[in-house]
Amino acid sequence: MTNGEHPGNDDWRQVPGDPNQPPTGGLPTNPYGSADAGNHSPGSPSNPPSGQFPSPPPGATGPLGQYPRPDQPNAPYYQQQPGGTAPLGQMPQATGSSSADVPPARSNGGRKLLIGAVAVALLAGGAGGAIGASVAGGSNKDGSSTSNVVASGPTNTAQPSAAPGSVQATAAQVLPSVVSITVEVGNQVGSGSGVILSDNGVILTNNHVISAGGGKPADKILVSFYDGSRAMAKVLGTDPTSDIAVIQADKTGLRPITIGSSANLSVGQEVIAVGSPLGLEGTVTTGIISSLNRPVSTSGADGSVESVMDAIQTDAAINPGNSGGALVNANGALIGINTAIATVNGGTEQQSGSIGLGFAIPVDQAMRIANALRSGGRVQQASLGVNVRPSSDVTQPGAQVVNVVGGGAADQAGIPKGAVITQVEDRKIASSDALVAAIRSYAPGDTVKITYVVNGQTKTVDVKLGAS
């Protein structure tokens, strides 16, 4: 037990499409993929972490992108050889001879596959170029050239200035505070994003970024900054339960990001995502907050539930590689850490990009964990002291208590076994995931109002949350 809010059975963690899957009221899929991500049936949603590397589509023949080497921070990016192909989520094997030491591909059994490269093709370049040349100039029959001016209107080569609060102004403010992270774990390489917390190199990111989806921190971590410089980094602390990690880069004079709040966000609010999707450093995308308090579960390598986020949902384009990057408001203040995306298909073989469903860890929760990790303290999660499962009564959605931990928060507040918890403060609870996410959004020692139904009666009690 990590926090005292466990389901009483495994039914609530079945994959979407299973007829036995109960309603959850949130996102019922695993945003990070599963221990056997490649075996999902077609059409089964899967939500991979947004911090990690794809390979090119089958048949790609051009260069597959380049990565900085964690063991050679001052060396040029190494490039994979043309012709390599691999399922998305895997590093393609290099073919032929190469002066670079390219790690082998990650196996399909990996839990959280980091993505960092993208194959880019220019469409209609040849035809467009030829047509452009024909229109731009010509020649007379005697061989002399002529110049025909097609545009006769005025020209204006100046660009509009960045208005305060505009995406342009916000991007200029935030970009220097977001980094790209490359990690090496054994013979595997992964990448993601991070956010600068202090001028002496303290950086906030996701745990699954610096572990490359594995069970331990990376052997080598290389941070690439907005000015083009790079520096090695060490891990200060990790918390797999919240998927938060803090690292220390060997660099000073950095620009820390402005910290905002996630307690007063609104659906429809404009937001900006900044990170390194598909290895493309310093990428800015925009959108809105499409939902708040979205329960999103993640699973460990053994298939067990590892983390349940009380996520900010956004339609700003978030793709693999954005994990650990910034979600900011129009003031340029950090409101969330981009962490996961939802995809239509279910396997790493055909991992897709953004479909308008991205998820970020709220900054209030992320910073509470990060501050504990920075100081070397023990990270604790708020605990209600119950085991729960989805309500068995379809007319009464909620989280049904299947066990009460003796002496725990619920026990002391008088919440009995069999009760269906329907509300935390003013937040409706429709599933066991929703309850776990709601409780974890608080700190140990906080007092919250819990509403539950037992024997047809609705009761509300004040509960002082414990710690796990």
In 164-282, at which residue ranges do the beta strands (DSSP E only) sit?
178-185, 188-196, 202-205, 220-224, 230-239, 244-249, 258-259, 270-275
- Candidates 208, 211, 290, 433; catalytic one: 208
Q: Are residues 416 and 327 in the same domain?
A: no
- Candidates 177, 180, 323, 431; catalytic one: 323
Q: Are residues 359 and 276 in the same domain?
A: yes
- Which of the listed residues 220, 249, 278 is the one where a domain comes to its end? 249
Q: What is the pLDDT of residue 189?
A: 84
Q: What is the pLDDT of residues 309-357, one digit of tens each?
A: 889 999 999 988 999 999 999 999 999 999 988 877 554 444 567 788 8
- Candidates 239, 243, 315, 433; catalytic one: 243
- Which of the listed residues 349, 374, 399 is the one where a domain comes to its end? 374
Q: What is the pLDDT of residues 144-161, one digit of tens each?
A: 555 566 778 888 889 888
Q: Are residues 423 and 387 in the same domain?
A: yes
Distances, alpha carbon 395 to alpha carbons 125, 390, 392, 438, in Å = 59, 12, 9, 22
In a domain, 392, yes or no: yes
**208 a catalytic residue:** yes
Does residue 124 carry a pLDDT above 80? no
**Residue 114 structure tokens:** 């980091």
- Which of the listed residues 219, 249, 279 is the one where a domain comes to its end? 249
In a domain, 13, yes or no: no
Q: What is the pLDDT of residues 16-52, one digit of tens each?
A: 444 443 333 334 333 333 333 334 433 344 444 544 4
In a domain, 290, yes or no: yes
In a domain, 346, yes or no: yes
Phi, psi of 371 (to 5 degrees): -65, -35
In a domain, 212, yes or no: yes
Q: Are residues 355 and 325 in the same domain?
A: yes
Count: domains in the chain = 3
Give the lowest-confidence range in 11-20, 236-245, 266-275, 455-464: 11-20
CA distance 433 to 7: 8
**Residue 390 structure tokens:** 């989805």
pTM for the whole thing?
0.68
Q: Are residues 369 and 326 in the same domain?
A: yes
Q: The domain that contains 224 carries what CATH number?
A: 2.40.10.10
**243 a catalytic residue:** yes
Specify the amino acid at residue 153: G
Measured torsion, CA atoms of residues 393, 395, 398, 402, in degrees rounded to the nearest 10: -20
What's CA 418's distance to the chain center, in Å? 35
Q: Residue 419's domain spans which residues?
A: 382-467
Q: Are residues 221 and 286 in the same domain?
A: no
405 contacts 421 by C-beta, under 8 angstroms: no
Does residue 286 carry a pLDDT above 80? yes
Q: Name beta bridge partners: 390.
A: 399
Q: Are residues 463 and 386 in the same domain?
A: yes
Q: Are residues 292 and 232 in the same domain?
A: no
In a domain, 68, yes or no: no
**Residue 272 structure tokens:** 């900006």
284 contacts 175 by C-beta, under 8 angstroms: yes
Q: Are residues 291 and 365 in the same domain?
A: yes
Q: Are residues 221 and 282 in the same domain?
A: no
**Residue 4 structure tokens:** 């005292």
Q: Are residues 366 and 419 in the same domain?
A: no
Q: The domain that contains 407 carries what CATH number?
A: 2.30.42.10
Cβ contacts of 323 within 8 Å, gap of 6 or more: 49, 50, 51, 52, 114, 192, 193, 205, 206, 208, 209, 275, 338, 339, 340
Question: β-pairing, 326-328 with 270-275?
Answer: antiparallel
In a domain, 352, yes or no: yes
Q: What is the pLDDT of residue 54?
A: 44
Residue with tokens 């850490």: 337
In a domain, 276, yes or no: yes
Cβ contacts of 266 within 8 Å, gap of 6 or more: 289
Helix, strand, coil distribution of the chain in percent, nearest 5: 15, 30, 55
CA distance 421 to 176: 44
CA distance 117 to 77: 12
Q: Are residues 292 and 339 in the same domain?
A: yes
CA distance 341 to 408: 34
Specify the amino acid at residue 197: L
**Residue 420 structure tokens:** 């269906």
Highest mean pLDDT among 101-115, 174-188, 213-227: 174-188
Q: Provide the 8-state DSSP code for 407.
A: T
Q: How many residues does the chain have?
A: 468
66 compared with 424, residue with greater pLDDT = 424
Q: What is the pLDDT of residues 57-90, one digit of tens each?
A: 444 444 333 445 565 555 443 333 333 323 223 3
